[in-house]
């Protein structure tokens, strides 16, 4: 059974933008308390407008012409509404407006929006980032199916209630590759991607209102895990006869001493090792995630790992290090953490945090230098990693004590 909807048409003038007493004439379509305005391309004397009757006062010279026109517009808009209802569509005020102007081709659904984005952005973003957008798309599809019993959902119908419901839905999901629910920040990441889609729809004038205008995306500040100097040494001294674990240990250590993210490390090639201004080897590349430039002088331990894998059977031609999937890498790291009696949940990305914190910042490398090596465009991004370690605090206070003596 089709639900009853409230529908009304009103005419009004925009006195706030009147010029020399002349104001523009508008029609307002309201369906279920949601409004859409359309300009009628008429300018009339503001003092001649009767707001009570929504028409031009009879004494105005053009009263009959304008009021007849308003009557026609009212009739046409009402007919557009009736036509849309007869097509068994869930009618919105925006749809009536588009039908009136003859611009109501197939309306954009959330599925259309994501497909348009993925197709046009595929060459601009990394495959892993694109994969995240497809995951958000998949979750949206499930949410619409579960909550609205539909396969499609129009972008113009997305409102604050839809966003709140989607947030709740996300926080109840258990991803297949994890054993815990999506946390707050994970849910917010999906909502950020949806927000990008909405902004795209606004810029293409597919919708008029931004449903995110009253919806705040709240990220919780999490402490970034990293290895202490002692824990890093444990992994450096870890010995095993299992080849795969030796390779994973070396890849992890290489990231700890260079700050390279997984995708950049896997793509490292001969041509990206150059002789720097200090006449020593540097990594000169760009981050796949952001395309920002990265220039990192090779520390002796990182250089030793590169030399170790020269001509290694597990290294593809043109690459510098063995290739392994991120999933397997993180799985094997847990074995190494257990063997080294490290209680932290060891992940490959923790190596990047360790480089930023334990290897560089805690050894006095300025945060501006660390930011450059990490490939960050904003210093604020690097400050996430800027930990003041207890050891550094103790050393700094010792220097202060000596000075005060």
Q: Is the pLDDT of residue 30 over 90?
A: yes
Helix (H, G, I), strand (E, B) or coil at 268: coil
Average pLDDT for 333-352: 92
Helix (H, G, I), strand (E, B) or coil at 19: strand
Q: Among residues 402, 370, 404, which one has the least CA distance to residue 386? A: 370
Q: Tell me the pLDDT band of 317, cut-offs 50, 70 and 90.
A: confident
Q: Is the pLDDT of residue 5 over 80?
A: no
Q: What span, in angstroms and rounded, lies between the C-alpha atoms of 152 and 113?
A: 11
Q: Is the pLDDT of residue 378 over 60?
A: yes
- pTM of the prediction? 0.59
Provide the pLDDT for residue 1.
40
- 8 A C-beta contact, residue 325 and residue 301: no
Rounded (10°) CA dihedral 248, 251, 256, 261: -110
Average pLDDT for 115-143: 88
| DSSP symbols for 116-136 | HHHHHHTTTS-HHHHHHHHHH
Q: Is the pLDDT of residue 115 over 80?
A: yes
Of 15-29, 201-215, 308-322, 391-405, the poorest mean pLDDT is in 391-405
Helix axes 127-148, 110-121, angle to 10 degrees: 180
Distances in Å between the Cα of 167 and the Cα atoms of 115, 172, 183, 261, 354 are 22, 9, 11, 29, 32
Average pLDDT for 254-261: 93
Average pLDDT for 43-68: 89
**pLDDT tens sequence across 163-213:** 999 999 998 887 765 556 888 888 999 999 999 999 999 998 888 889 999
Domains with residue ranges and CATH for the chain? 7-100 (no CATH), 110-214 (1.10.150), 229-350 (1.10.443.10)
Provide the pLDDT for residue 230.
92
Provide the pLDDT for residue 103.
61
Bridge partners (DSSP) listed for residue 30: 8, 35
Q: Are strands 55-56 and 281-286 parallel, antiparallel or unpaired?
A: unpaired
Q: Which of 233-237, 357-361, 364-368 has the highest mean pLDDT?
A: 233-237
State the DSSP H helix or E strand holding residue 285, giving kind and residue range, or none if neither. Answer: strand 281-286
Provide the pLDDT for residue 95.
83
Provide the pLDDT for residue 99.
82
Average pLDDT value for the chain: 87
**Residue whose tokens read 């920002």:** 292
Q: Is the pLDDT of residue 310 over 70?
A: yes
Q: Tell me the pLDDT band of 389, cut-offs 50, 70 and 90.
A: low
Q: What is the DSSP letter of 107?
A: P
Q: Is the pLDDT of residue 108 over 60?
A: yes
Average pLDDT for 353-362: 89
Establish how many alpha carbons lie within 13 A of residue 112's alpha carbon, considering only the half-sphere containing its beta carbon.
12
Of 211-220, 221-230, 387-396, the poorest mean pLDDT is in 387-396
Provide the pLDDT for residue 4.
62
Helices (H), 149-241: 160-170, 184-203, 229-236
Q: What span, in angstroms and rounded, lies between the C-alpha atoms of 74 and 302?
A: 74
Q: Is the pLDDT of residue 274 over 50?
A: yes
Provide the pLDDT for residue 399.
85
Burial class (CB in 10 A: 0-12, 13-18, 19+), 230: exposed
Provide the pLDDT for residue 104.
60
Provide the pLDDT for residue 235.
94
Question: What is the share, in percent, of the chain residues with pLDDT greater than 70?
Answer: 93
Q: What is the 3-state secondary structure (H, E, C) of 365-376?
A: CCHHHHHHHHCC
Average pLDDT for 286-290: 81
């Amino acid at each position: 059974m089709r639900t009853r909807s409230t529908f009304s048409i009103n005419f009004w003038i925009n006195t706030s933008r009147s010029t020399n007493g002349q104001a523009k004439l508008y029609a307002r379509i309201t369906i279920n308390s949601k409004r859409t305005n359309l300009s009628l391309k008429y300018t009339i004397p503001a003092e001649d407008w009767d707001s009570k009757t929504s028409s031009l006062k009879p004494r105005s010279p053009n009263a009959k012409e304008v009021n007849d026109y308003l009557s026609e517009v009212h009739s046409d808009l009402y007919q557009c509404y009736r036509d849309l209802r007869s097509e068994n569509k869930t009618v919105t005020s925006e749809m009536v407006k588009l039908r009136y102007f003859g611009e109501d081709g197939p309306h954009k659904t959330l599925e259309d929006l994501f497909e348009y984005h993925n197709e046009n952005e595929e060459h601009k973003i990394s495959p892993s980032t694109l994969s995240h957008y497809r995951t958000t798309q998949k979750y949206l599809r499930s949410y619409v199916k579960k909550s609205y019993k539909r396969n499609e959902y129009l972008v113009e119908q997305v409102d604050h209630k839809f966003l709140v419901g989607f947030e709740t839905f996300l926080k109840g999901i258990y991803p297949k590759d994890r054993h815990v629910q999506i946390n707050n920040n994970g849910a917010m990441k999906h909502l950020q991607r949806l927000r990008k889609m909405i902004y795209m729809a606004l810029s293409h004038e597919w919708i008029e209102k931004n449903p995110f205008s009253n919806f705040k995306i709240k990220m919780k500040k999490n402490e970034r895990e990293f290895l202490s100097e002692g824990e890093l040494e444990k992994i450096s001294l870890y010995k095993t006869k299992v080849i795969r674990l030796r390779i994973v240990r070396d890849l992890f250590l290489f990231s700890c001493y260079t700050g390279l993210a997984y995708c950049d490390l896997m793509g490292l090639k001969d041509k990206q090792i150059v002789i720097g201004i200090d006449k020593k080897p540097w990594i000169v590349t760009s981050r796949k995630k952001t395309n920002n430039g990265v220039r990192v002088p090779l520390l002796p331990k990182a250089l030793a790992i590169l030399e170790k894998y020269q001509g290694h059977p597990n290294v593809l031609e043109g690459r510098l290090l063995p290739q392994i999937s991120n999933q397997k890498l993180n799985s094997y790291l847990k074995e190494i953490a257990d063997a080294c009696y490290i209680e932290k949940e060891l992940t490959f990305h923790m190596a990047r945090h360790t480089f930023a914190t334990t290897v560089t910042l805690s050894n006095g490398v300025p945060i501006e230098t660390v930011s450059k090596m990490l490939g960050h465009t904003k210093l604020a991004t690097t400050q996430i990693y800027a930990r003041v370690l207890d050891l550094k605090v103790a050393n700094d206070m010792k220097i202060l004590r000596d000075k005060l003596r």
